[in-house]
Amino acid sequence: MSMEAVAWDVMYKSSHTPDATTRADRRATVRRIVAFAAPHRRRIVVFVAASTLTAALTVVTPLLAGKVVNPR
């Protein structure tokens, strides 16, 4: 079997195996993430707000430039 066939076989098997994680496992993972992030809550809020503002400005800038070029 060629290396390419082996690689495709591994990729196929890894993406088609039944998921062993349960809902309880996912909840436990989310709880651990929240517990880890709790001390950094203020920084996370500032980051999300800044990212949202940046995304809005990225969209608004071409719209405003279009209004300047085509003022109708």
CA distance 41 to 37: 6
Residue 7 in any domain: the answer is no
Which range of residues forms the domain containing residue 59?
40-72
Average pLDDT over every residue of 31-37? 94
Q: DSSP 3-state assignment of 62?
A: helix
Average pLDDT over every residue of 13-22? 67
Torsions phi, psi for 2 (to 5 deg): -75, 165
| Overall domain count for the chain | 1
Residue 69 in any domain: the answer is yes
Please tell me which residue, 10 or 60, carries the higher pLDDT value.
Answer: 60
Q: Which CA distances in Å does 72 have to 44, 64, 66, 67?
A: 41, 12, 10, 7
Residue 52 in any domain: the answer is yes
User: Is the model's pLDDT at 20 over the cut of 70?
Assistant: no
